[in-house]
Structure 1
């Protein structure tokens, strides 16, 4: 039986674990102010133009500076990746996998350190940061094992006097565009999935969490990854992001982020440029407007916990966050009252000090979320929260807006913050109607004791990840492969058995004997 790191997450109620994590935070603080380079072909390049990384919980606290790549450096990185691809693709798959296993071992030893970087740079609470690092370890180990399973291809039927083979080969150079909200797990997972399958990559992380990505690039170097396989090109999406997506030598793009940017990448990648001799592949995980549905005979306390912790983990900055609660009319008032009471117990503050909920990522997010709260006040009834304070950091109180129409903006548009919309349903059919009434289809939760309704929800609730009688966040690598339908992306199922194949192409050979 395989044990996943999520099953070994740190118990912070134990004093020695608290002490160890505080020591990790102190160590990370001692590293503040350093400069991190662009890395191309193993060469470290420091530029004048830099990303200034700041703590979203304390705007005055500078984490460090990251050199920005321009188009010239992006082209240099592309050429380095193209050159190294010619040798890397010939490496034995088990040797590529061994580098991932080595990286996982290093990350296990430095788990608290990497989690502490996320507390400081991303504003992640302790438990959320710890789970993020655990998931990164899982990705490294899972994709390494999956590559070992895929290395011999798929057995074919042979007729007499014939030998047939079906094997997977790498695609080429990939562009990895990773998000701020899982700055280690998703960034690392998407990067190593491309690398272990024999591709070379250009990694462009979210600017707000570029130092965490830089630390991971250092880790992969320590694990023995040859130079030029992973090229680190932080910078402007408008400048180098578009340039690399459009590049005729780009073979695939792996993107995690907003619907708006994802659709733009998908459209740009579809155009064939001069010198391009393939159709680019796009692996996209975009947004969500995820629903926790509470049926008439659900366990009320379980439902309330599922609603609140789905909505407000990491300040709602998850594409999987349960930002909508759809509750049967017979229990609506009781569930709402208890959800409000539980929400009021959540602590908001600096995550380094152990608060349950920290800040949102930056000023742009803060303003967007606060504007949606104002919209919510017009569309429904403010039950709790609704207040924000950006004087020191970008803090917003967990907010519940109730009595919303199923087509209200707060019920339809992704906010990506600690805002929960409550809506009443007449019966099971109405619950499913509302659950499926957005453009998205990422995660959902269904709370019920009615077996007939559970089985119908299994079929009718149109999401990539459905959770029954639990919250709708926290997919575990190898247990709940993650990816959604509709405008939530290409349903690429990260952490699943089909994911690595997306980074390869199948080759069939037949020999007459």
Structure 2
């Protein structure tokens, strides 16, 4: 058949729509929100191309409006996990053999479906199911997911194009094989884009996938799966299961064909799974690829030379957008004593204008946290701080779950840089501030670097370039994504590859070539055009 070296279409970031009053996207989204609220969806699993309904239905409710039912999903058990693994392995030979440009076409089409006809469906599903504001949904579920798919196609072509040199009479080449077996993708609730990227990135490289989404993000995961199916992902390549975590783990991590794990979630879960994989390593056909992005205790440190309003805005946005439920969210801040009152005054002024409520009201900046377990944990932490001699609540602190899981943006001021909320990931709208003596800036950098087990994101605010350089070098291991005079959230695919080390994960940088290359197993091929016919080398000749 005809062959060619193909160039993919130009790749660029998906433009973010404004949803300002009077815009067409605002009108379309409001209609879609109303349409979703008017029906109760019945969401099946998708295994081997079939819709699987078990009859064991679990209801889905918006975190911000508990009395409303969005629909039900069909919960599976170990038999469905087995079925998903078998379906994936059956699909593997044909999918692995498919020419790369056809795999690329499928996911480029998926990106166009997301940014086009499915844009408001995936935004509305994320807003309702995960309580995201319109802007947070747009930059996540529409733009970032489309970006992941398009840029990953670009990275795939770069990987395939990376070839070795050859010497005279020799042709060396490398082919990039998919992993031998199946990949397990375990995805979080907080980013719809991550839920779409974790199964699709390995699949794009020719792998087959068993995908388990967070139970609190099944409503949007259903839309993602619809998009993949419409884009042409063949049956069995990506299999969506809704069994409980422990049930899925037992079946997946004991299977000899388990070849890779793509994860975003808590550090504790990731470490537990890594341990399980290690204990079962003798079972597997090959050493599994383990790729994980986990927790964070992300920081903002301001120097006395900072712009106070810029710091305050970074705090308001970095700590409280999407209720602080971002692994990159600012949750600890180090403020210079000489500038603190100025910064605090501006933060409190901004928070006085922040509205909290359902995302269907576009004027709300803060919505609900994801579920009752999260609410209860955060409420307990806030109450503890309110009664602790080393802590003082200077903003927010209100908690109410009578209608939805609402927690006010809360700022804790502590006199102890080792206070609990300076160290532990809370995953909610809670920021802890430590005010340091201006003369102890270097000492504060040491404290910051050693306080947390994590190393995901962080930011420095300063106008003094010597200070910026010092902090950038001194905190080289404290953050895998480091920001200068900007909030520590909002990484864009193709611009800021995302990931951290220490307790924050394997730092394989989602949205980059570094992540995609983990899903292939290179094979080097050497061809000798004129092979030797005598074993003797020239040095063996007589004088």
Question: For 1:84, what is the secondary structure of its paired residue?
Answer: helix
Segments of 5+ residues of structure 2 without an aligned counterpart are: 1-9, 530-543
Residue 445 of structure 2: aligned partner: 432
Q: Using a 3 Å threshold, how does the CA distance of structure 1 residues 274 and 429 change in structure 2: closer, same or farther?
A: closer
Residue 94 of structure 1: aligned partner: 101
Q: For 2:60, which of 33, 41, 53 is the aligned residue?
A: 53
Residue 33 of structure 1: aligned partner: 40
- Separation in 2, partners of 1:99, 1:272: 35
Question: For 2:412, what is the secondary structure of its paired residue?
Answer: strand
Q: For 1:113, which of 91, 103, 121 is the aligned residue?
A: 121
- Separation in 2, partners of 1:243, 1:57: 34
Residue 393 of structure 2: aligned partner: 382
Offset at residue 272 of structure 1 (A): 3.0
Q: For 1:234, which of 227, 239, 242 is the aligned residue?
A: 242
Question: For 2:487, what is the secondary structure of its paired residue?
Answer: coil
Question: For 1:466, what is the secondary structure of its paired residue?
Answer: strand
Offset at residue 27 of structure 1 (A): 2.1
Offset at residue 299 of structure 1 (A): 0.6
- Separation in 1, partners of 2:111, 2:234: 17
Residue 155 of structure 1: aligned partner: 163
- Separation in 2, partners of 1:376, 1:27: 42
Question: For 1:506, what is the secondary structure of its paired residue?
Answer: strand
Question: For 2:211, what is the secondary structure of its paired residue?
Answer: strand
Alignment of 1:416-455 (within 5 A): 416-426=427-437, 427-437=440-450, 438-455=452-469
CA contact (8 A) 2:151 2:493 kept: yes
Residue 403 of structure 2: aligned partner: 392
Offset at residue 274 of structure 1 (A): 5.9
- Separation in 1, partners of 2:60, 2:255: 28
- Separation in 2, partners of 1:55, 1:189: 23
Question: For 1:231, what is the secondary structure of its paired residue?
Answer: strand
Offset at residue 105 of structure 1 (A): 0.9
Larger Rg: 2
Give yes or no for the alignment of 1:303 onto 2:319: no
Question: For 1:159, what is the secondary structure of its paired residue?
Answer: coil
Offset at residue 157 of structure 1 (A): 2.4
- Separation in 1, partners of 2:224, 2:213: 11
- Separation in 2, partners of 1:499, 1:274: 26
- More off after superposition, 454-463 vs 427-436: 427-436
- Separation in 2, partners of 1:429, 1:76: 57
Q: Using a 3 Å threshold, how does the CA distance of structure 1 residues 94 and 417 change in structure 2: closer, same or farther?
A: same
- More off after superposition, 465-474 vs 104-113: 104-113
- More off after superposition, 370-379 vs 438-447: 370-379
Alignment of 1:309-324 (within 5 A): 309-324=317-332
Q: For 1:368, which of 355, 374, 377 is the aligned residue?
A: 377
CA contact (8 A) 1:432 1:457 kept: yes
TM-score by length of 2: 0.91
Give yes or no for the alignment of 1:480 onto 2:477: no
Q: For 2:479, which of 463, 467, 488 is the aligned residue?
A: 463
- Separation in 1, partners of 2:255, 2:474: 41
Residue 495 of structure 1: aligned partner: 511
CA contact (8 A) 1:174 1:200 kept: yes
- Separation in 2, partners of 1:402, 1:59: 32
- Separation in 2, partners of 1:329, 1:497: 43
CA contact (8 A) 1:69 1:240 kept: no
TM-score by length of 1: 0.96
Question: For 2:184, what is the secondary structure of its paired residue?
Answer: strand
Question: For 2:19, what is the secondary structure of its paired residue?
Answer: coil
Q: For 2:143, which of 123, 134, 143 is the aligned residue?
A: 134
- Separation in 2, partners of 1:416, 1:460: 26
Alignment of 1:31-430 (within 5 A): 32-109=39-116, 110-132=118-140, 133-152=142-161, 154-171=162-179, 172-182=181-191, 184-272=192-280, 275-354=283-362, 355-377=364-386, 378=388, 379-426=390-437, 427-430=440-443
Which string of whole-angstrom CA distances, capped at 9 and with x for unpartnered residues, describes residues 56-88 of structure 1?
011111111111221111011101111111111
Give yes or no for the alignment of 1:508 onto 2:524: yes
Which string of whole-angstrom CA distances, capped at 9 and with x for unpartnered residues, describes residues 427-448 of structure 1?
4313422331210000001110
CA contact (8 A) 2:169 2:528 kept: yes
Offset at residue 258 of structure 1 (A): 0.8
Q: Using a 3 Å threshold, how does the CA distance of structure 1 residues 307 and 431 change in structure 2: closer, same or farther?
A: farther
Offset at residue 123 of structure 1 (A): 0.5
Equivalent residue pairs, number: 508
CA contact (8 A) 1:53 1:209 kept: no
**What is the RMSD computed on CA atoms of the aligned residues?**
1.4
- Separation in 1, partners of 2:423, 2:153: 38
